[in-house]
Amino acid sequence: MCSHQDLETVRQEILSKRDSKKPCISICTGTGCLASGAGEVMAAFTAEIESQGLKADVDAKGTGCPGFCEKGPIVVIYPEEICYLEVKPEDVAEIVSQTVKENKVIERLLYVDSATGEKAIHESDIPFYKNQERTIIGNNIKIDSKSIDDYIAFGGYTGLAKALLKMTPEEVLDEVKKSNLRGRGGGGFPTGRKWEEARHAAGDIKYVIVNADEGDPGAFMDRAVLEGNPHSVLEGLTIGAYAVGSHEGFLYVRNEYPLAIENVLIAIEKAEEYGLLGKNILGSGFDFSVKVHRGAGAFVCGESSALMTALEGKAGEPRPKYVHTVVKGVWDRPSVLNNVETWANVPPIIEKGSDWFTRYGTEKSKGTKIFSLVGKITNTGLVEVPMGITLNDIIYKIGGGIPDGKKFKAVQTGGPSGGCIPERLLDLQVGFDELTKAGSMMGSGGMIVLDEDTCMVDVARYFLEFLTDESCGKCVPCREGIRQMLKILTKITKGKGKPGDIELLQELAEVASEAALCALGRSAANPFLSTLQYFRDEYEAHINEKRCPALACKELINYYIEPEKCKACTTCARKCPADAIIGGKNLIHMVDQDKCTKCGTCFEVCPDRFAAVTKLSGVPVPANLSEDQRVIVREVREAKAS
Amino acid sequence: MKGITLKIDGEEVKAREGMTVLKAAQNAHIRIPTLCYHKKLEPYGGCRLCMVEVESRGSAPRLVVSCLYPAQNNIIVRTRSPKVDRVRKTVLELLLAHAPNSFELKELGKEYGADESRTGQEPSFCIHCGLCVRYCAEVKKKDAIGFVDRGIHKEIGFVPEIASKECGKCKECFPLCPTEALQAAYIFVEALAFPGQGH
Ligand SMILES: Cc1cc2nc3c(=O)[nH]c(=O)nc-3n(C[C@H](O)[C@H](O)[C@H](O)COP(=O)(O)O)c2cc1C
Ligand code: SF4
Ligand code: SF4
Ligand code: SF4
Ligand code: SF4
Ligand code: FES
Ligand code: FES
């Protein structure tokens, strides 16, 4: 392709070969669905279509992740957009003969609202999707992630053509600046400003880089975008390169994402073939090529200076930067690093204009953001929401609230060095500055919901443990400071905290925040600081009363059978792996505290109608009963009942 | 090279473009404590002991590592302030946990009022200043010693094949070590890997 016209011609050609009424089966073959068997489902569809002689009449394709991985494998049948969840190979023949041929809906494969019992036929009727605004991942389920034609058919590369052929680099830059797009990878730095600095930096050779390291445990939004819709990232990157004046790009992706690597390599090859990458793109005279670099996968490698050091082929350790990487980055050349999602936002901004983009959002945070919603929440998965939506709406309208009738306690946002936001702030609007003000951060979009059974001191300990392991070890405030913090927090959760610990933690936190070399160390104390801010009483209970209010810290709780509730059903005694329950027929059961390993089995297995096993914390365990006190006199109860 | 004037602790100091604040201070005989800095080596920025407060026109004072921060015209540098001292005290406390007997650390600790009893003691001697590793790589160009592993598991290690050939006659990195870790590691490796070659 060597002009805008060519791109349109190709698009029309692709579209003319397609019949919008022709049934198309989209099977999510993202990493999540593949893990739950999408590969087999896909194979079953291919075989079934073949054997029913429908090859000419039905399309089937493997697509990217629409976000609801928990309910995978996901299958959507177009044009009716009928959405089936948890599809198994056994369901395939029926789907083809019933739904594809007869347009009949198979009830058992539909989404069922666990609260209301209502079913949803169309993808867009499912509450999980209904309240989202999916401008980035919305097309994932429609596009064959390995097909450039599919991307073009859905309007792909229009933004690039417009940028290269109708706009000057300055105009592209201005449009991105006007959109107020801010980095989706952590800091929320204005993307346009970053590009501008690099554009004006001295030097002929400049680089643009995609950060697809995605080291946050449990996060997979970048994977979903890159793996499901790689061309959107490449298109954004090329537009950025044009604006910055760069002719070489890198895509730094973690090695643990083999499917993303595979799909992006195919995408690069196809884009080159179509003249959308390489020399003289679309006849514009602009050259740009991209190389894929596989990262070794340490969390700190996602940090910009460490990532650039790694791109140079050295160990991925952060470098002190008093000169910005946009001026002196990879091989000391101006380098623009943006996150996968940031790049994917660029094509629609150029295509539809910054006004379209700024329709969504708060004053300073525009557009949409993808979150990975996990933890104690009914619907887990990737959710793309407009900035400015409240946490409440995300958790209750999209996430479906807290399962098992438990109470909400806090939501942890921003990845390992983010913070926890308590219930009273659930009306908070999601935005970069809003979350930071609440003591947390946007980060790359991790969102972990915690319920009442979660100990907040233990949450802080957990994240500091992760960060201690991930510290590169170069600078003292981080390597030694957070390690000491972890030691103190661990002691507190074991009931060995002492007065003064909170103050020492605060001091170490302050020094790490002020003196660490890179943002890992500087933000590592956040999990502690935010839990202290909102849940100080829990810290104090652990330290002063040796009590864990959430009844979660093993060392601080005892399992105890309430004598008046125990009906001697013997379940716990039979299930206790430590033989720690003093049981017997018609005898009130008791926990032998010396033998008990606090595994919690008795608590789990005691039938709900008795609920005799409880957890105690910070109070002495009542003395065991004497033999005759333990006898349950059933006759009395039966007499009463009659 | 352009001349620069900056103020360090109230004193007008001349420097050249490209110079670090630490260098400018040293030239003016103003002392800033360092642990991972060595004049023959690329600045590393690891220990954070050399942090100072910098104020440039209009912006609030901020902490920077002087061994890396470029001297600029008209900036105001304070080598001591409550903030600076607190960072140094904490850094020293954190390091003394590992090298409680290091003479250099003990002296500095006294100066900044470090109370090493506040941190859990865990003697491991090496404080990861990287002087030995970088000296051997940058000056001797031998790479006879390196860091192994990452983060809190990071340790120094001699590469026996190279060390057995080079170190016996060199030992130039030994006096750089602020703790006794290097010596100890060498003796250990020597005993294990190249017995009998010794001194
Ligand atoms: C320890 C650490 C890990 C990071 N990991 C990532 C990552 O995995 N992906 C990412 O895009 N940004 C990551 N960042 C943020 C990057 O340093 C950088 O700010 C970002 O890639 C810039 O792109 P953006 O402006 O589009 O967000 C990390 C930062 C730190 C301090
Ligand atoms: S803050 Fe931590 S991760 Fe960053 S350079 Fe220092 S030790 Fe390494
Ligand atoms: S907590 Fe576990 S070990 Fe303890 S009594 Fe219950 S089942 Fe037995
Ligand atoms: S003694 Fe060995 S490790 Fe030290 S500088 Fe000399 S060659 Fe390198
Ligand atoms: S052995 Fe000594 S010189 Fe080498 S890194 Fe450790 S403390 Fe520094
Ligand atoms: S991988 Fe299929 S829904 Fe996420
Ligand atoms: S001397 Fe500057 S950081 Fe160590």
Is the pLDDT at A138 greater than 50? The verdict is yes
Query: Biggest alpha carbon distance in chain A?
Result: 96
Neighbours of B113 (CB within 10 A): 12
* Mean pLDDT, residues A230-257: 97
Angle value at C-alpha A195, between A189 and A198, nearest 5 degrees = 115
Angle between helix A221-228 and helix A340-352 axes, rounded to 10 deg: 60
CA distances from A22 to A29, A59, A78, A110, B69 (A): 21, 8, 8, 22, 65
By alpha-carbon position, which residue is closest to atom 1 of ligand 5? B182
A232-236, A296-300, A541-545: least confidently modelled range: A296-300
| Residues in chain B within 8 Å Cβ distance of A472 | 150-151
Residue A3: the pLDDT is: 80
* Mean pLDDT score, B11-22: 94
If you measure from the C-alpha of residue A221 to the centroid of ligand 6, how many angstroms do you get, rounded to a whole number? 11
Q: B10 to chain A nearest CA, in Å?
A: 23
Number of residues that this document lists for chain A? 642
Q: Tokens 């013997």 map to which residue?
A: A570
Nearest to A473 among B45, B69, B151 (CB): B151
| Short-list A419, A393, A395, A418, CA closest to A408 | A395
A468, A474, A507 ranked by CB distance to B46: nearest:
A474
Q: Are A476 and B46 a contacting pair at CB < 8 A? A: yes
Choice from B50, B127, B131 to test ligand 7 binding pocket (greatest atom count within 8 A of CB): B50
At B125, is the pLDDT very low, low, confident or very high (cuts 50, 70, 90)? confident
Question: Residue A636: is its pLDDT beyond 90?
Answer: no
* Spatial distance between the Cα atoms of A515 and A310, rounded to a whole number of angstroms: 23
Mean pLDDT to the nearest integer, A165-185: 96
A360-398: per-residue pLDDT in tens? Answer: 999 999 999 999 999 999 999 999 999 999 999 999 999
Burial class (CB in 10 A: 0-12, 13-18, 19+), A491: middle
Q: Is A516 on the interface with B (CB under 8 A)?
A: yes
| Pairing of the two strands B51-55 and A613-617 | unpaired
The residues, any chain, with a CB within 8 Å of residue B189's CB and separated by 6 or more, are B157, B158, B160, B163
Q: Is A302 in the pocket of ligand 2 (CB under 6 A)?
A: no
pLDDT of residue B199: 42
Binned at pLDDT 50, 70 and 90, residue A308 comes out as very high
A467 touches chain B (CB under 8 A): no
Q: How many residues does chain B have?
A: 199
Which residue has tokens 């790689």? A230
Nearest Cα residue to atom 6 of ligand 3? A602
Q: What is the DSSP track for B42-72?
A: -----S-TTEEEEE-TTSPPEEEETTTSBP-
pLDDT band at B198, cuts 50/70/90? very low
Asked which of A105-114, A528-537, A604-613, B189-198 is least confident by mean pLDDT, the reply is B189-198
pLDDT at A6: 85
Check pocket membership of A215 for ligand 1, CB cut-off 6 A. Answer: yes
Which residue in A476, A484, A513 has the most chain B C-beta atoms within 10 A of its own C-beta, making it the best mutation to test that interface? A476
Q: Residue B4: what are its φ and ψ, rounded to 5°? A: -130, 145
Nearest-neighbour CA in chain B from A303: distance (Å): 15
Q: Residues 132 to 191 of B: which have CB under 8 A from any A CB? A: 147, 150-154
State the average pLDDT over residues A324-330: 92
Q: Which pLDDT score, from 0 to 100, does residue B193 have?
A: 65
CB of A616 closer than 8 Å to CB of A560: yes
Q: For chain B, say whether A487 makes contact (Cβ under 8 Å).
A: yes
Give percent of chain A with pLDDT exceeding 90: 86
pLDDT band at B151 (very low <50, low <70, confident <90, very high): confident
Which residue, among A575, A579, A633, has the nearest Cα to A605 in the 3D structure? A575
The pLDDT assigned to B136 comes to 94
Q: Residue A381: what pLDDT?
A: 94
For residues B88 and B186, the model is more confident at B88
Ligand 3 contacts CB of residue A596 (under 6 A): yes
CA proximity to A386, closest of A368, A405, A409, A406 = A368
State the complex-level ipTM: 0.92
Strand segments, DSSP code E, in B22-148 are: 51-55, 62-65, 76-78, 145-148
Q: What average pLDDT does range B68-91 have in this prediction?
A: 95
The partner residue sitting opposite A504, judged by closest CB among B68, B87, B118, is B118
Residue A5 in this model has a pLDDT that exceeds 90:
no
pLDDT on residue A641 = 47
**What CA–CA distances, in Å, run from B137 to A282, B17, B141?**
48, 27, 4
Beta-carbon-side half-sphere exposure of residue A540 (alpha carbons within 13 Å)? 5
* Average pLDDT of span A131-148: 94
What's the pLDDT score for residue A1?
73
Averaged pLDDT of chain A: 93
